[in-house]
Amino acid sequence: MRLYVRVRHGDRKISETPDGIDVYTPEPMENNRANIDIMRQIARKYSVKTSNVRIVSGSRSRKKIIDVEK
């Protein structure tokens, strides 16, 4: 499954939008901490392992394309 994700700063939550999903994270963008938190949140939401969530595009951007393998 391919997800179009927009990253926002705030308390941890995921909200659905017409364009994809918004993922909120309190983690800083430094040292890949925000990306790791985003992947963990998505894995929890879709009940998969974190290793099944992969950032395809936008690892250094607020807009990302993420693949989730079930």
8 A C-beta contact, residue 49 and residue 55: no
Q: Which amino acid is at 9?
A: H
Q: Which long-range contacts (CB under 8 A, 24 or more apart) does 31-37 make?
A: 32/59, 34/7, 35/59, 37/12
pLDDT along the chain (70 residues), means of 10: 95 94 95 95 96 96 95
Q: What is the pLDDT of residue 16?
A: 94
Q: What is the pLDDT of residue 42?
A: 96
pTM, to two decimals: 0.90
CATH number of 2-68: 3.30.1200.10
8 A C-beta contact, residue 7 and residue 25: yes
